[in-house]
Amino acid sequence: MPTIFERIIAREIPAKIEHEDEHCIVFHDIQPQAPTHLLIVPKRVIPRVGEAVAEDQALLGHLLLTAGVVARKLGLERGFRLVINNGPDGCESVPHLHVHLLAKRQLQWPPG
């Protein structure tokens, strides 16, 4: 069964898309944890970062570079945070690797 992200990529479920290219899609989270909360999702399914392999290296790098592109586009010069959840204790809710981009509020440290 396809994940919700696969269904968004296939345009079966609507999303507010901020960016898309041949490797990934970036859209607004439907349960935002900050005024700006985007998800950067690879189009090729990698269940979680802990299952990534050497062949995924370029795609993983592309996700981080895309975060920078989107942050510049949105004027997030004051800063932002990137988060990748992995597994149940990491609060992973969808088994399709994705990067959270959170911004436009003072984030706390340590997180969680």
Residue range 8-58, pLDDT digits in tens? 999 999 999 999 999 999 999 999 999 999 999 999 999 999 999 999 999
Running DSSP on this structure, what letter comes out for residue 106? P
**Domain assignment present for 62:** yes
109 assigned to some structural domain: no
Residue 8 lies in a domain: yes
* 100 flagged as catalytic: no
Do the domain assignments include residue 30? yes
Reading across the β-sheet that carries 36-42, which strands appear in turn? 17-20, 24-28, 36-42, 99-103, 80-83
Q: Does residue 97 fall inside a structural domain?
A: yes
CATH of the domain at 38: 3.30.428.10
Q: Which domain covers residue 46, as residue numbers?
A: 4-103
Q: What is the pLDDT of residues 55-108, one digit of tens each?
A: 999 999 999 999 999 999 999 999 999 999 999 889 999 999 999 999 999 999
Closest CA to 29 of 79, 112, 99, 76: 99
Count of domains for the chain: 1
Alpha helices, H only, 22-108 = 57-73
Predicted pLDDT of residue 111: 82
Q: What is the pLDDT of residue 63?
A: 98
Is 32 part of any domain? Answer: yes
Give domain status of residue 57, yes or no.
yes
pLDDT score for 5:
97
Residue 110 lies in a domain: no
